[in-house]
Chains A and B, each alone.
Chain A
Amino acid sequence: MTFLQDAPIDSERLIAQVAASDHGAVVTFAGNVRNIHAGRGVVSLAYSAYRPMAEAVCTAIVAEAGERWPVTIALVHRLGEIAVGETAVVVAAASAHRDAAFAACRWVIDQVKERVPIWKRERYADGTELWVDPTAPEGVVMPQARP
């Protein structure tokens, strides 16, 4: 199973992947690139990852979700340059009933943000760029100037 891809994400394919005749509920979450962050106009985000660890952590998250709820999960995170309005991550959670599907979908995206080694660099309309850093006071940090 691969959870990372450079190509655009086909949400319909993920929904089809988790569908089953005993699953009455499918909840999907799509994380799209937003046009504004911390008051700056964003043009695109450049995503990168520590791929082998990111795959391993995604595998663990999906397995853990399956232990917590009776769900089938599909998860894909896109890497590379992603323009405003395009989708960076999709979670699809299917279950017999909606409660488990909603809860699992929410939990999986939260875990992805917290545990998967992925980074993003924002490119702004004025040509500047900053690293996104959720631990920084303003949520972004300056790139290192090239010598």
Chain B
Amino acid sequence: MNSHRVLLFARYAELMGAGAVEVILPDHADIAQLVSALRNLPGGALLPPELFVAVNLRRAHLATVLGPGDEIAVLPPLAGG
């Protein structure tokens, strides 16, 4: 099992009550497992059905496998400009 720190921003940080949360996942877990774990945390049920997850500053897919030390972030709909 590994502990992963997940960065949260803007409205998602509000929903989860923190700018980052820790999730415990099995070795070689993927983004789908990460998202399931997030939804079980306080406030996680309020997250929308589809999530934009970035790993190491790039968009990740549900099948992306997490490695130790990966920087993980969950991003609300973008609204720059």
Partners in one complex: yes
Which residues does A use to contact B, with CB under 8 Å?
31, 47-50, 52-54, 56-57, 77, 88-89, 109, 112-121, 131-136, 141, 143-144
Closest CB pairs A-B (n = 10): A118-B80, A119-B10, A113-B81, A144-B14, A132-B79, A53-B57, A135-B77, A116-B80, A131-B11, A56-B57
Q: A-B contact count, CB below 8 Å?
A: 76
Which residues does B use to contact A, with CB under 8 Å?
7, 9-11, 14-15, 43, 46, 54, 57, 71, 73, 75-81
- How many angstroms from the CA of A88 to the CA of B81 in the assembled complex? 7
Enumerate chain B residues within 8 angstroms of A118, measured Cβ to Cβ: 78-81
- How many angstroms from the CA of A54 to the CA of B57 in the assembled complex? 8
- How many angstroms from the CA of A62 to the CA of B10 in the assembled complex? 25
Q: Which residue on chain A has the smallest CB distance to residue B7? A: A50
Apart from A50-B9, A120-B79, A133-B76, what 19 extra A-B contacts exist at CB < 8 Å?
A49-B80, A50-B75, A52-B71, A53-B57, A57-B57, A77-B80, A109-B81, A113-B81, A114-B78, A117-B54, A117-B73, A118-B78, A119-B11, A119-B79, A134-B79, A136-B77, A143-B11, A143-B14, A144-B43
- How many angstroms from the CA of A67 to the CA of B43 in the assembled complex? 43
Enumerate chain B residues within 8 angstroms of A88, measured Cβ to Cβ: 81
Supposing A53-B73, A112-B81, A113-B81 touch, asked if A121 and B10 sit within 8 A by C-beta, the answer is yes
